[in-house]
Amino acid sequence: MSPLSLNLARLCSFVATVQLVGAWNTFTVPHSPGKDDTPAILAALPDFATNSTILFQEGVTYNIFTPIKFPTLNNVDIRIEGNLTYPTDIGTIQGKPASEFIVHRY
């Protein structure tokens, strides 16, 4: 293989690697004071189920009033830097274990 061909092969490999690194997405979970934040999370999950970060921001208290069932995630980092609150109405969650509110299928 000539030096030019070898350098071209290395350049192509480098470009492919850079494209993979650049394909990472970050979803910052939106918050609506006094409302359930779960619908916004569920609506965005299909677009951020691969090569993504799902970020619950620091200093924000998110309202998780309905269970979240995560789809199969591939190379996803869920960063909970803020706080998560659950319903305070016992009737809403009666008979449901806490594990139902954040569920990830493996």
Over residues 65-70, mean pLDDT: 82
Say which residue, 100 or 16, is predicted with more confidence.
100
104 CB-near residues (< 8 Å, 6+ apart): 70, 73
pLDDT on residue 17: 47
How far is Cα 12 from Cα 18, in angstroms, rounded to an integer?
10
Quick check: pTM over 0.75?
no
Over residues 23-46, mean pLDDT: 93
pLDDT on residue 106: 46
Q: How many CA atoms lie within 13 A of 44 on its CB side?
A: 16
Find the angle CA(48)-CA(57)-CA(74) to the nearest 5 degrees: 25
Over residues 14-24, mean pLDDT: 58
pLDDT on residue 93: 63
